[in-house]
Every structure is written in structure tokens, then in C-alpha cells.
Structure 1
Amino acid sequence: MTTDLIPILSAIAAALVVLGATPLAMRLARATGAVDVPSGRRIHSEPTPRLGGLAILLGFLVPVVAFLPDDPSARALITGAVLITALGAADDIWGLTPGVKLAGQVACAAIPVAAGLTIDHITLPLLGVGDLGWAQYPITVLWFVALVNMINFTDGMDGLAAGISGLGATTFAILAASLGRADPAIMAAALAGACAAFLVFNFHPARVFMGDAGSMLLGFVIAGVAIGGVMKSAAAIAVVAPLVILAIPILDTSFVILKRLKHGLPVYNADRSHFHHRFFTIGWSQRKTVLALYGWCALMGAVAIALRFVRYRDADGHLQLAGTAVLSAAGLLALAASIYLVYVLEILKWRSTPVVTLVRQSRLERASRREMAGRS
């Protein structure tokens, strides 16, 4: 079997396992009381079982255990993934305090970091490689914990976290394979296949939620494959590509945290200020919102792939017109899409505030009075 086929087979195997395991996870969720009941900030209207993340974990593990060699860092990442899924499942069933969850996330992140899966250097275009030294350990733990919570924050609408994570994992699989990093490519492909199959049950109207067991698993594995597959390489895209691929969860989390800090609220307080909530507030349906965010994520992934494969310099280091034009067009398209979506989220939402509503009513009343005066 050629190594090029293994990531593809991993994705297929993971998908098949998830298709069979998800109904079992739904039964387990109902038996343990891990059911998400509609509440004030929830978008769904029917009680829905959680613990779908257990099926995603099983789908991820089967091909990864079968195809990966006995590598210490890969084994440590898998161990951490299993433990953080267990942590999320405990939260889904019994509920955990934010402090306990954060401590568990740090402990899980420390496992692959201790095994050498670290961001030990930063490669910046035009500037070269910078060694992080001892700082690689806290920085890498912070990276894992940040991604775990970013993906967890996006899991607020049917199919959103699974779709965005699946698209991101697919992009990381392509980049890792192109850089000759087989292990991260296999893990990323397996995660992508698991996410795709889970959408059969999780796309609107969802029959099951992944819960924290799933969202924390997705964030943890994506953080790991981003490091092993791209960030540990000396490629010029080592830093840029992960930031581009993960632009949606990064921007969403940044906006939410800044808003909570602005109003003096704890950053872990749940609210309805995420991107998907804002789309919902301005009247977009769940499907339209999710598909729009899928499109945005796919576009950013395409930009990351273009940065890897489109040659914009020749052997002598001179810029090539065609490659530079393609990359510039891709970047401008991604920037335009981002600006448009932020405009829709912020401007239209701002227009619906009570102050603006009163201004509109005042204008209409004045226009009505003028019209009546003209008739008289």
C-alpha cells in the first residue's frame, strides 16, 4: 500500500466507524442524562442528546491506531485526545466548573508537550527562523488550550463545529502530506472523515450534538496536527497557514472575549455574541448561517493551500508575475469575504438597536407630518 493512499483510507475508515457508532452514542447520552435541553441562549427547540464526541473519538482512533507507527509524540497526542474527550464527556453528563475544565485542559495539553510535540521555532516570511528556547513549552500549552476553547465556542449551531473542523482538518492533511509529514496527515485526514460522517446526524435539524466531548477533542487534535504537520516545518507558511485556516474560530473568540472584557464580564460567561448568534439575530436561518461560515472557512483554506503550492518566486528569488497575481487575488478575495461578513454581522445588527429604531421612527413621523401638511 502506498503511503499516499493511507490518509484517504484513514478518512474513509473514520467515516464508516462514526456512521455506526453515533446511534450508540445517542443511546448512551439518553441513558446517562446527557441531553441538551433548550434554554434562553440555545438555538435548538427540542431536547437533543449530547456525547456525539465519543463516536468522533472512536472514528478517529480506529484508523490512527491501525496506520500510525509507534512514534512517542503521536502516541502522546492520541493519549491526550482520549483524556480530553473523557473530560468533555464528564462535563456533558455532570457539569464541571470552568476552573476544573481549564485545569484538565492544561493537564491534557502537557502530555504531548512533554513528549516533544512543541512549537520550538517560528518561521516568518522574509525574516527566517527564530528559536523559541524554553518558551516553547508554555506557548505550546497555551496553543492547545486556546484551540480547544475556540472550537468549543463555535459549537453553538447545528453542524457548525463539525463542518469548520472538518474543513480545517482537510486543509491541514493536504499541507502536512505535501511537506512529507505522514503522521499528522493521517491524523488530520481521520479527523476530517469523522467530522464529515458526524454531519449526517448533526447537520440541521440535528439529531445529536457532539457536546464538549467532541468540541474539545476536535480543538485538541487540530492543535496537534497544526504543530506536527505545518508549524514544526521550515516552510514559509509555517506560521501563516494555521492562522489563515483557523481564522474563523480565532476571530470569533477574539471578538467575544473583547466584548466580555469591555462590559466587565468573565470571559467564560456564555452569551449570544458569537458569529453564529449574530447571524441568527439578523434573521439568517441555521442552514444559511452554517453554509456561509463553511464557505468562509473553505475560502481561507484555499488561500492557505495556494500559499503552499503557487510559486511566486523563481530559483533566484525574484517575484513571478503569474504566481504573485494568483496569490494576491486569493488574498483579496478572502479579505473581501471577511469584510463583507463582518459588515453583515456588525452593521446590520447595529441598525437594529433601539436607538436607531427610534431615529427611524422619528424620521417616519416627520415625513408623515410633512405629507399631511402638504395635503392640507
Structure 2
Amino acid sequence: MEFLILILCFLASVLITPFVKKFALKFKITDQPNYRKVHSTLMPRLGGLAIYISFLIGLFIFRPQDPHMIYLVIGSLIIIATGMLDDIYDIAPKYKLLGQLIAAIVAISGGFDLEFINLPFGGELQFGYLTIPITILWIVGITNAINLIDGLDGLAAGVSSIALITVSFMAFLQGDIFVLTIAMMVLGSTLGFLVHNFYPAKIFMGDTGALFLGYMIALLSLLGFKNITFFSLVIPVIILGVPISDTFFAIIRRLIHNKPLLAPDQYHLHHRLLKSGFSHRQTVLLIYGIAVLFSLAAVIFSMATVWGSLLLLAVLILAIEIFVELVGLVSKDYKPLLRFMEGKQAQRIERRKRA
């Protein structure tokens, strides 16, 4: 059944996307090239509308039954409306954030929240009054994280697809049919769009698509791993390692350089890889590879013991820090760990010379 859902939404998206492209071109809903963007020609956006319509087709045909369903649909509709307004009118960030907050509140009212976690060494951590702020932070944060990596042809769609595959697999292992069904609908719709969006892209998903994908991944991962262990809460963070780490270091970068948190720049992961000499296609495929490694780590993490999970988490954090310093994700001069390692290496060489 799930495979049928995937195929149906995939085919719907493949067929619908060209019509959305014509619609975007007719009404001049396009992305203008500028100094920050990689593309050099006028590109139709609003491609996320094709993803959403395909998703709705899946919902209409298969009609998954769950108390969360109506809130998910209403929240996603608000997100889609917010993204479309931004794609068409380029609305101010505060209005875009307002739409995300409203969608997050709708989701929370429908039971998409994080009330407590079971601690790994016993006991329970109740969030109490912090439940709503933490949940809003998660939903809005992941929604924007996907939006921030949408800078190259096929990048956001591909990374989102890898995350959705992993969420689907974890839902299958847990026997969560609702999360699995919705994830497969979104996955099929995204892969169908990717046929038209992979380099060289014929259409961009725009904020309509990026916000929708981020919102859906946030809700599915929250619903799939809510109210369980601390380490289970870490799993969706690892699955979304690429967009989360890119967003986290973008915040650090802007704080260090005293720039507004929403200020655009050319130091995101894909920008740094392009600067390092990788081609457009190579950069996208390399980030896909990193996303796959994060997803595999998440699966291993879910099956490991407590101490094994701690060790894997430590290795992941160390590997991320080294990679960030190598590509200059914070700044060209930010290399504390590499300098420390170079200093230790120099000390060892000096000791050998003296010996």
C-alpha cells in the first residue's frame, strides 16, 4: 500500500509540475538572478505548489485516518499560503515568520507537541510551560532550515527526500502507519518534482515548497519520536543534520560578525563547496552524500546502547566541527580545532627532533 502511495504521488508530481511552471511564467512568478544566486537566467518558481497538489491528491485518494490529520492539513495550508505570498510578492521576513508561527500553533493545538522525555539513566524530564515554546522553536526552526539550504538546483528537494526516506524507515520499524503514510505521500511528491528540479533545473520550488517540506518534516519527526527517550529525540536532529548544522553555523557566523540573523550571505554550505572548486552538480551530490551519512548515523543511533549512542554523538559532533573548519562555514579564520591539532602535531615533531 505504501509503495502504491509513493508511486501515485510521484507520477502526479511529475505530470503537474510542467503546468505549474507555465502558470508561474504566465504570471511572472519568477526568480531574478543576482550576485547572491547561482543561476544566471530568469527561473519560474512556485514549484512547491506542484508538490502540495500531489500531496493533496494522495490524501484525497487514500484518506489516512488519524486525529492529527485535520490539524496537519490546516497547518500545511497556512504554510503554503505563506510561501506563495512570499514567492509572488516577496513579503517581509516578519510576515513570513508570522505565517510560520500560526501554522506551528495550529499543529500544537492538534497534538503535535513535546511534553516530556524519558532520560537515558532513569527518570523523566517534564517540559511543562516550556512545551509550547520548545515545540514552536522546533517547527519554525526546521521549516526555516530547509528554506536556507534551498540554494542550488535539486538541493532542498534531494536533502528533504533523504530525510523523508529515513523518517519513513523509522516509522516502519515502529509500526507507525500514519507517519509512514504521510511521509510516503510527501516523499513521492518531492521526488516527482525533483525530476524537473535537479540540475539543470527547469523550475524552482520557491518558498512555497521549501517551507512546506520543512513544516511537514518537522511535524512528522515530532510525531514519530515524541514523548520517548532523550536519545530518540536526538534521532530527528541527526536525520536533519545537514540543514540544522548549516542553519546553526549561519547563526554563529552572523553573531560573530555582528550581522542581523536574517541577513543573507554567501557562506552557506553549498556556497563554500562551490568556492572550494566543486561544480554545481558535484556540490549537490556531495551534500546528498553527507545527508545519507547523517541518516545512516541516525538509524545506527536508534539501535545502539546508551554508551554507544553517546560515543556516536561525540564522533558526529567532532566530525561536523572539523568539516565546518575545513570549508570555512563560519569564516575563513575560524579554525580552533584544526589549529589545536596542528599545534599538537608541531609539538610531536619538535620532540622527535630533540630526541
Q: TM-score, with normalisation over the residues of structure 2?
A: 0.87
Q: CA deviation at 1:334?
A: 5.2
RMSD: 2.4
- Which residue is equivalent to 1:142? 137
Letter in 1 for 2:295: G
Structure 1 gaps, min length 5:
1-5, 314-318, 352-376
Structure 1 residues 276-355: aligned runs within 5 Å: 276-308=270-302, 310=303, 312=305, 338=320, 341-346=323-328, 350=332
In the alignment, the residues of structure 2 paired with residue 133 and residue 348 of structure 1 have an alpha-carbon distance, to the nearest angstrom, of 35
Larger radius of gyration: 1
Per-residue Cα deviation, 1:88-115 (whole angstroms, up to 9, x for no partner): 0111011100111111110111111111
Q: CA deviation at 1:246?
A: 1.0
In the alignment, the residues of structure 2 paired with residue 141 and residue 128 of structure 1 have an alpha-carbon distance, to the nearest angstrom, of 25
- Which residue is equivalent to 2:91? 96
- Contact 1:296 1:338 (C-alpha < 8 Å) held by counterparts: no
- Which residue is equivalent to 1:199? 194
- Contact 1:121 1:131 (C-alpha < 8 Å) held by counterparts: yes
> Do the aligned partners of residues 49 and 23 (structure 1) sit closer, same or farther apart at CA in structure 2, a change above 3 Å counting?
same
> Do the aligned partners of residues 168 and 128 (structure 1) sit closer, same or farther apart at CA in structure 2, a change above 3 Å counting?
farther
- Contact 2:21 2:47 (C-alpha < 8 Å) held by counterparts: yes
Per-residue Cα deviation, 1:109-164 (whole angstroms, up to 9, x for no partner): 11111111111112343344322223212211221111111111000111110011
- Contact 1:303 1:331 (C-alpha < 8 Å) held by counterparts: no
Letter in 1 for 2:328: E
In the alignment, the residues of structure 2 paired with residue 127 and residue 168 of structure 1 have an alpha-carbon distance, to the nearest angstrom, of 30
- Contact 1:151 1:249 (C-alpha < 8 Å) held by counterparts: yes
- Contact 2:46 2:206 (C-alpha < 8 Å) held by counterparts: yes
> Do the aligned partners of residues 256 and 69 (structure 1) sit closer, same or farther apart at CA in structure 2, a change above 3 Å counting?
same
In the alignment, the residues of structure 2 paired with residue 266 and residue 19 of structure 1 have an alpha-carbon distance, to the nearest angstrom, of 39
Per-residue Cα deviation, 1:329-356 (whole angstroms, up to 9, x for no partner): 97688567645632431299838xxxxx
Letter in 2 for 1:257: I
Letter in 1 for 2:2: P
Q: TM-score, with normalisation over the residues of structure 1?
A: 0.82
Q: CA deviation at 1:13?
A: 1.6
Per-residue Cα deviation, 1:12-39 (whole angstroms, up to 9, x for no partner): 2211111011001101111221111110
1:268 is aligned to 2:262: yes
1:62 to 57, 60, 65: 57
Letter in 1 for 2:278: W
> Do the aligned partners of residues 66 and 337 (structure 1) sit closer, same or farther apart at CA in structure 2, a change above 3 Å counting?
farther
Per-residue Cα deviation, 1:208-244 (whole angstroms, up to 9, x for no partner): 0000000000000001001111224x25642110111
Taking only the aligned residue pairs, the percentage that are identical comes to 35
Structure 1 residues 1-376: aligned runs within 5 Å: 6-232=1-227, 234=228, 237-308=231-302, 310=303, 312=305, 338=320, 341-346=323-328, 350=332
- Contact 2:58 2:185 (C-alpha < 8 Å) held by counterparts: yes
In the alignment, the residues of structure 2 paired with residue 226 and residue 209 of structure 1 have an alpha-carbon distance, to the nearest angstrom, of 25
- Contact 1:74 1:183 (C-alpha < 8 Å) held by counterparts: no
